[in-house]
Structure 1
Amino acid sequence: MESVAVESAAEPEISGSGATAAQEGEGHHVFELPRIRALLVHALPRFFEGVIAPVLVFYAALTLLGLNGALVAAVAWVYGGIAYRFLRGHPVSGMLMLAAVGVTVRAGLSAATGSAVVYFLQPTLGTLLVSMSFLASVPLGRPLAMKLAKDMAPIPEAFLKHGRVHRFFLRISLLWSMVLFANVLVSVWMLFNQSISTYLWLRTSIVAALGAAGVVISVWGFKRLLRHIDWKPAGTA
């Protein structure tokens, strides 16, 4: 992890999971930036579990068992993940429970209509709502990207109040609004113009590439921002 001390007004020490709580001299708050490799090690297993594996399960079941079999397999995959965590004594997050409810509703509607398009269209509409939320937060001056950053890392409040930092998160919120909207456009076009198998694999690849580009730009921009603000690596004079 890369520890960073940010120049700010006098403020209480910041503490949090995985963060350095000590201060490096008067007015310097120290927090940690995860290295890219650490981010990848943390994210890739979850990306496989949450994105790649469900596609594999759905496609295999669709090929072997048809649409209804694929819907059952998709629901079983999510609830199987919950059962596995429960039996292993691991916490089951609220997000996972919401995902289980969502996939159950999607599968039920798709089975009732006999259309795989219905199954895939619903999360795309959800992505559109998230994209609009990022976009709406910009003119309101309350960038959604800043709130998410605060949830993921113990960033000092005084640092977030810096004018340049606030403008950065406004731009990042706009960036993610465009990334997610591009995701929606690609998904809807492919859903209505390509086969389900093409949709599953090509759309997944394109969306993953868009997301990876958004993450790289966001992390690069944040590190560039730190170089232009009065900060120094923790432990230096």
Structure 2
Amino acid sequence: MLLHALPRFLEGVIAPVAVFYAALVLLGLNGALVAAVAWVYGGIAYRYLRGHQVPGMLLLAAVGVTVRAVLAAATHSAVVYFLQPTLGTLIVSMSFLASVPLGRPLAKKLAKDMAPIPEAFLRHERVHQFFLRISLLWSMVLFANVIISLWMLFNESIGMYLWFRTGIVAGLGAVGVGVSVWGFRRCLRHVNAEPARAGSPSA
């Protein structure tokens, strides 16, 4: 899974930062905005020419980047370009948080979308509690992402924001993934052990 995710991480996180920063240094803000948009559409063109399916999320990302670039160019502000996805992250964080008291953890919905998990397993009370806790965890991870991003965006240079914020956010995400995987494995062990307990003489 990590080997599968690494090229996507490089293409979607590291490379856009490098492209934007290099163009910013060499060509200025407008050049950086053009380079950022060209990178996304270049990825779409590369997939199309090689006969690969272009994911719908990539098309939506292209539209989003285009709108962000137009607004940033109109206001002559790089802050406007980076502020928009940060506000989007805040909305996602609040969505994770709101799903907890409602008893409909967003993490469970995402897990169902990404993997064929049996409904009987998802209805288990321990599993439901796990997804509630993980939804709360990711709400906190994303909110920390927002706080760090906003502070650096308004207090540091764009160069500092690009590189240090990217590293910090990647680190937060790695911690969140690690805790999620550890918690899910622990939850599986408890759920799988229950029938054995039920059939034991002491049960």
1:166 corresponds to which residue?
Answer: 128
Query: Which of 112, 115, 133 is 2:77 aligned to?
Result: 115
C-alpha separation in 1, matches of 2:85 and 2:55: 19
Instruction: Identify unmatched segments of 5+ residues in structure 2.
Output: 195-203
Q: How many residues align?
A: 194
1:60 corresponds to which residue?
Answer: 22
1:132 aligns with 2:88: no
2:170 corresponds to which residue?
Answer: 208
1:148 corresponds to which residue?
Answer: 110
2:139 corresponds to which residue?
Answer: 177
Query: Which of 35, 46, 49 is 1:73 aligned to?
Result: 35
C-alpha separation in 2, matches of 1:198 and 1:131: 24
C-alpha separation in 1, matches of 2:183 and 2:169: 21
C-alpha separation in 2, matches of 1:79 and 1:45: 17
Structure 1 residue 227, shift from structure 2 partner: 0.8
Q: Percent identity?
A: 82
* SS at structure 2 position matched to 1:92: coil
Sort the Cα spacing of 1:129 and 1:137 in 2 relative to 1 into closer, same or farther, 3 A.
same
Structure 1 residue 147, shift from structure 2 partner: 0.8
C-alpha separation in 1, matches of 2:181 and 2:153: 31
Moved over 3 A (4+): none
Report the TM-score when normalising by structure 2: 0.94
2:200 corresponds to which residue?
Answer: none
1:192 corresponds to which residue?
Answer: 154
Structure 1 residue 218, shift from structure 2 partner: 0.2
Report the TM-score when normalising by structure 1: 0.81
More helix by share: 2
C-alpha separation in 2, matches of 1:75 and 1:229: 47
C-alpha separation in 2, matches of 1:183 and 1:103: 20
C-alpha separation in 1, matches of 2:114 and 2:149: 28
Structure 1 residue 231, shift from structure 2 partner: 5.7
* SS at structure 2 position matched to 1:139: coil
C-alpha separation in 2, matches of 1:148 and 1:47: 19
Instruction: Identify unmatched segments of 5+ residues in structure 1.
Output: 1-38, 233-237
Structure 1 residue 230, shift from structure 2 partner: 2.4
Structure 1 residue 212, shift from structure 2 partner: 0.4
